[in-house]
Structure 1
């Protein structure tokens, strides 16, 4: 079978090509940084923005079926990493496209790419925070709704994208699944560079073992143009990464517009939750009332 390319060769992180927007002027520093995105892009000033702080004591329990991950256990036929000037973005080719459904999602979503956000040191880096705790890195697996046909059409719809958010925490040992990617980053130090990843792990290797506990809310892209079209799934359990591996990410160079020499702190500050609800999957089946017959 000829491999199906499951990425669209534009920066899906930015979604600029799909939107037809100019949007490359934004940065994480200076006058085009996150504090100014709202005045530069109307959507970035919306009331359903991401990321947010997840307060675990203020979540609504839902009794959804488990997430269904199709083809996540199959290694891709090709894997590439790109330094797009804002992040390290990984794209794959696969005979059958990975898909996610269930878990309260309304429909099936097709995998597009995954990318990372990280800090200058391990005290910060993630975009979402959980009870105010910021992790050193966050991985985003981006999917678009299959019924809309294309990414370009999906980003026009309120439920067009589904993103799986995975926190990374520091471990004393390297994460084997991240090792080939970390090595490939040596070949993409400058913005707009691509490199092949030599050993290809299935997408499942980049998810936590426990995917049953997660948080769900309606939000946006965390980069301009901040379209409010994302159903977020943020896992409670983190995966590991070593300090040595983090340094490979911290060695990348950003776009020329950034006012710093290295690509770090590429995360948006948390946004107001407002009237939105954060939901959490509870795998326990709610008890039903049982009628007792008196003796």
Structure 2
């Protein structure tokens, strides 16, 4: 548990990056906004930046083994939310750290934290867009590659991080899993505040039911210093959130007393990168189809030989 807490503390500094190299402050608007990140932070001007617009007609289908989520069904012993000045970031204590593997990932990745991006209203908010469609919110579950030992080391490597991206769409009803978090947000309206979350849901509760279909590409952190070290997994299916719950996020304040809204980076150029889509159970069905055809062919040949 202590080790996981240390990892979380490091992730706050590295993944959300409240300040970058040289102490430069970044924002989502004005002279320190996304249009200027590339001049403020060299890596933000790289060729493999995130987020992107996912064009579903131009993705390549891949037959990977199923995505495996270890300990995602186990509720954490503690869960807290922090207003880090840019987002609502959720951290957990758990006896055994959740992990993700399979699904085309090259290795096992250990959970660090998750956070959100949202809009001033529900016409916008997500960082990734799918065929140009922007959702009102996007959730990012950040993991680091276990073989690198620490998040600090993993963030230096091209395949160091794996982030699961989940879209949220507006529902007339509250999302039960988000209800305790939405309530806790009322206690972290000012920057650098944190609050315990009263009810701990397992991480699985924050994922869509269908995790078989997802988009995959190589990219970067979406906040400075924009390290190009992320293997992105963006699920096709969204989860729900109510307007009332969204409004609790929109009530949070940044360090300068302004509301934290529209905290998303615009889509970045793809620059000849390939975007893949997982084939839903198709690997198994394709294999079965081949086995079936082979069996049919062999049976037909046997019958033919018996009649000769």
Shorter-chain TM band: over 0.9
2:263 paired residue among 252, 261, 266: 266
Q: Give the alignment of 1:16-165 within 5 angstroms.
A: 21-23=21-23, 25-165=25-165
Cα distance, 1:263–1:233 mapped onto 2, change above 3 Å: same
SS at match of 1:270: coil
Counterpart of 1:250? 250
Q: CA deviation at 1:12?
A: 3.1
Rg larger in structure: 2
When residues 24 and 208 of structure 1 are mapped into structure 2, their CA distance, relative to the original with a 3 A threshold, is farther
Structure 1 residues 23 and 179, CA gap change in structure 2 (3 angstroms): farther
CA distance in 1, matches of 2:20, 2:214: 33
Secondary structure, aligned partner of 1:9: helix
Gap regions ≥5 residues in structure 1: none
**Could you say which residue in structure 2 is the equivalent of 1:5?**
4
Q: Deviations over 1:181-212 (max 9, x none)?
A: 00000110011111000100000000000000
1:254 to partner: Cα distance? 1.1
Change (3 A) 1:263 1:14: farther
Q: Is the 8 A contact 2:120 2:261 kept in 1?
A: yes
What is the aligned residue count? Answer: 291
Which position in structure 2 is the counterpart of 1:281? 278
Counterpart contact for 1:4–1:93, Cα < 8 Å: no
8 Å CA contact 1:109, 1:144 repeated in 2: yes
Contact 1:14 1:224 in 2 (8 A): no
8 Å contact from structure 2 (residues 14, 152) kept in 1? no
Deviates most, 231-240 or 278-287: 278-287
Distance 2:95 2:171 in 1: 33
Q: Describe the SS at the equivalent of 1:226.
A: coil
Offset, 1:233: 0.1
- Shift of the 23–235 alpha-carbon distance from structure 1 to 2, 3 Å rule, reads farther
Contact 2:77 2:94 (C-alpha < 8 Å) held by counterparts:
yes
Cα distance change of structure 1 residues 225 and 128 upon mapping to structure 2, 3 Å threshold: same
Distance of aligned partners of 1:139 and 1:24 in 2 relative to their CA distance in 1, 3 Å threshold: farther
Q: CA deviation at 1:20?
A: 8.2
- The TM-score normalised by the length of structure 2 is 0.89
Contact 2:11 2:112 in 1 (8 A): no
Structure-2 change in CA distance of 1:11 and 1:23 (3 Å): farther
Using the TM superposition, give the Cα deviation of residue 24 of structure 1 relative to its aligned residue in structure 2, in angstroms: 5.4
CA 1:125–1:192: 2 relative to 1, 3 Å: same
Counting only pairs closer than 5 Å after superposition, residues 146-225 of structure 1 correspond to structure 2 as 146-225=146-225
**RMSD (CA atoms):** 2.1
Given that 2:139 and 2:168 are in contact with CA atoms closer than 8 Å, whether structure 1 keeps it comes out as: yes
Superposition deviation, residue 120 in structure 1: 0.2
Q: Which has the higher helix share?
A: 2
Give the structure-1-normalised TM-score.
Answer: 0.93
How far, CA to CA, are the matches of 2:118 and 2:181 in structure 1? 15
CA distance in 1, matches of 2:170, 2:259: 21
Q: Structure 1 pair 24/116, CA: closer, same or farther in 2 (3 Å)? A: farther
In structure 1, distance between residues paired with 2:173 and 2:129: 24
What SS does the aligned partner of 2:266 have? coil
SS in 2 for 1:12: helix
- Pick closer, same or farther for the CA change 1:16–1:206 going to 2, 3 Å: closer
